[in-house]
Amino acid sequence: MPTFKIDGKDVPFEKGDTILRAALRAGIDIPYYCWHPGLSIAANCRMCLVEILPPPGRPPMLLDVLELDREKSAYVNVKKPKLQPACQVPAGENMEVLSDTSEHVLRARHSVQEFLLLNHPVDCPICDQAGECKLQDYWLEHMKTKKRMRDEPVHKPKAVSFGPTIVYDAERCIICTRCVRFCKEVVKDPVLTVRERGNVNEIAVSPGRELDHAYTFMTEHVCPVGALTTKDFRFKARVWFLRSAKSICQGCATGCNAYLDYDPRYQRAYRYRPRDNEKVNQHWMCDEGMLSYKLAHDDRITLARIGGKQAKLAKAVSKAAELLKDGPTDQTAILLSAQHSNEDNFALVSLAKALGIKAMFLTGKADGEGDDILRHVDKNPNTAGVKLVAAKAVGSFDDLVKGIEAGTVKHVVALGSAVPVEDADSTLKQLTTLVVVGSSSSSLSRNADVFLPACTWAEAHGVYVNAKGMGQQSLRAIAPADDAQPGWKLVADLAEALGQKFAWSKLKELRAVMPAVKEPEPEKPEDEPAENADASAES
């Protein structure tokens, strides 16, 4: 691999790499605001300026500048090298770049930071970005002094609603144009632009439009400062109290990699953030997916129910076993869920095998809108996974409805909380026995004779297989609420009550016998948070 030098250190690069990209890959920190790996290069923030030494035998690029000589208290003519943006200049063989070792570069960073903070309001205490703001980080790293300007800063509009999801604060904005470029290049909906020039410029929405495409949350995500905030997360939590778990979005079959940010003190999820994965979602997520973290808390049922009345979990399990014992196996069916992980579905398939139940059906959410960016029409995260663990043809929900209407299915053990039809109540009422292992309220839980409270994806480790057939692991974030337990554990308990003992009782053992998935993610990512590591060890 060809190399070039940054501050005398050899840095390897690939053809087409810019200096910044190669430096980041080599673990060398060059500060930047406007550059984003998934967007075009704007080079407008000037934070990544570096000094590039001339090739041997060529004169250096020098600028004539006037500088104040404090001793003489007069301006003198000096020459200084022309600095160049590391994000834009391609790396070249044997190029010599000075970054932290160049006095000019350090001064430039200091000055750029001073310019960016010139009109910045004193907003940190009320700004959602505080704690993950580049302006804060870089001030301490590269500026460390007060600004010299004594004038009143320029005031601009604050808390401007850009649309149903995003609020804009022009005073905090550094006009890096990341949001503008994101809308134009990724979503192909150029709804944002920069208005005016100099220190009065601001981001504006096209006249007659709102920022309302399907990826508005990403404009907030790419914003390096607190200019764009989401209405959903605004003033809800302070980021330094949040911890992140590596999660898989539950919104659709794309299976976007995400961080689920939660507050360990309240065991509450607060937001999703995309986790970079070139093979799946690159750097992005859609609005629908970003909001799907709410499923961790909305409409939850966390206590067992018998006939709609709250009951002790153990009692509910034995009641379910009692009800199922009577049913002839040819009239019993299992209902798998594309909303649940491979583990949960595999446990239920194992139960069916043990009991000799043949009929298997699949439930999940109904198809929705899709596009060719990320959104998949299948709004279930694990349809492919269910088909994999079932290892045979699985009937659709419509098939189940037909079976119930025809009277061939009288008893059902169901997983999940979603049904693809609007009203399934009238059909489900005809069942003699309905045992549901689910996490939230739906027509399944409403009609269940026995309801067993399962963990959501946020409360348990699980493998999900996306539409491309990639198995991806989602790690536990928060502790199970109340009596909730991983779905596979509840199914195993139920099996035991029915006199069937599975060969596995722990997650590790279950995964060993579960059908393997193509391209599985490593069991334990290196930088997995410690608390999650503990949790996987005990389960």
Partner 1 sequence: MEPLDQEVEESELELPSDPMQLMMGPSHPAMHGTVRIAVELSGEVVVKADVQIGYLHRGFEKSCERGNWTQVFPYVDRCNYSSPMLNNVGYALAVEKLCGLTVPDRCQYYRVILGELARMADHLVCNAAMAMELGAFTPFLWWTRAREMIYDLFEEETGARVTHSFGRIGGMAHPPTDNFKQHTLAILDKVVASSDEGISLLETNRIFMDRTMGVSAISQADAIALGWTGPCLRSTGVPYDIRKAHPYLVYDRFEFDVPVGHEGDNYDRLMVRAEEVHQSARIIRQALEQMPDEGPINVDDPRIVLPPKGEVYDTIEATIRHFKIIMEGLKVPAGEAYGYTEAANGELGFYVVSDGSGTPYRVRIRPPSFALVGGLSKLITGQMIADIIPTFGSMNMIGGECDH
Interface residues toward partner 1, by CB under 8 A:
117, 120-125, 130-131, 135-136, 139-140, 143-147, 240
Closer residue to partner 1 (CB): 120 or 275: 120
Q: How far is the CB of 241 from partner 1 (least distance, A)?
A: 10
507 CB contacts (<8 Å, ≥6 apart)? 343, 461, 486, 488, 536, 539
Q: How far is the CB of 422 from partner 1 (least distance, A)?
A: 48
150 CB contacts (<8 Å, ≥6 apart)? none
Q: How far is the CB of 141 from partner 1 (least distance, A)?
A: 9
Q: How far is the CB of 121 from partner 1 (least distance, A)?
A: 7
Beta-carbon-side half-sphere exposure of residue 30 (alpha carbons within 13 Å): 33
Closer residue to partner 1 (CB): 72 or 148: 148
Closer residue to partner 1 (CB): 72 or 144: 144
Is residue 506 classed exposed, middle or buried when 0-12, 13-18 and 19+ CB atoms within 10 A define those classes? middle
Closer residue to partner 1 (CB): 126 or 391: 126
Q: How far is the CB of 293 from partner 1 (least distance, A)?
A: 24
Closer residue to partner 1 (CB): 59 or 125: 125
Helix, strand, coil tally for the chain in percent (to 5): 30, 20, 50
C-alpha to C-alpha distances, 151 to 110, 147, 160, 426, nearest whole angstrom: 19, 11, 25, 71
Closer residue to partner 1 (CB): 240 or 527: 240
Closer residue to partner 1 (CB): 77 or 145: 145
Closer residue to partner 1 (CB): 171 or 367: 171
Closer residue to partner 1 (CB): 160 or 239: 239
- Say if strands 228-230 and 243-248 run parallel, antiparallel, or are unpaired: unpaired
Are 50 and 88 within 8 A, CB to CB?
no
Q: Give one word for 437, left, alpha or beta, with left for phi > 0 and alpha for psi -120 to 50.
A: beta
Q: How far is the CB of 117 from partner 1 (least distance, A)?
A: 5
C-alpha–C-alpha distance, residues 538 and 296, integer Å? 22
Q: How far is CA 323 from the centre of its chain?
A: 41
C-alpha–C-alpha distance, residues 431 and 334, integer Å? 13
Closer residue to partner 1 (CB): 240 or 356: 240
Closer residue to partner 1 (CB): 226 or 487: 226
C-alpha–C-alpha distance, residues 220 and 212, integer Å? 13
Q: How far is the CB of 139 from partner 1 (least distance, A)?
A: 5
C-alpha–C-alpha distance, residues 417 and 344, integer Å? 13
Q: How far is the CB of 114 from partner 1 (least distance, A)?
A: 9
Closer residue to partner 1 (CB): 155 or 315: 155
Q: How far is the CB of 144 from partner 1 (least distance, A)?
A: 5
Q: How far is the CB of 411 from partner 1 (least distance, A)?
A: 53
Read off the DSSP letter of residue 494: H
The alpha carbons of the chain give a radius of gyration, in whole angstroms, of 29
- SS3 letters across 168-206: ECCCCCCCCCHHHHHHHHHCCCCCEEEECCHHHCEEEEC
Closer residue to partner 1 (CB): 73 or 145: 145
Q: How far is the CB of 175 from partner 1 (least distance, A)?
A: 17
219 CB contacts (<8 Å, ≥6 apart)? 166, 179, 182, 183, 192, 211, 228
Nearest CA-CA partner of 340 in 248, 258, 245:
248
C-alpha–C-alpha distance, residues 528 and 341, integer Å? 20
The residue behind tokens 């850009």 is: 162
Q: How far is the CB of 146 from partner 1 (least distance, A)?
A: 5
Label residues 18-44 b or e (16+ Cβ within 10 Å = b). Answer: bbbbbbbeeebebbbbbbbebbeebbb
Q: How far is the CB of 133 from partner 1 (least distance, A)?
A: 8
H helix runs in 156-295, sequence order: 178-181, 216-222, 287-291
Tokens (6 digits) for 160:
């401007």
109 CB contacts (<8 Å, ≥6 apart)? 31, 47, 49, 138, 142, 143
Where is 511: in which H helix or E strand?
A: helix 507-513
Q: How far is the CB of 102 from partner 1 (least distance, A)?
A: 22
Closer residue to partner 1 (CB): 173 or 384: 173
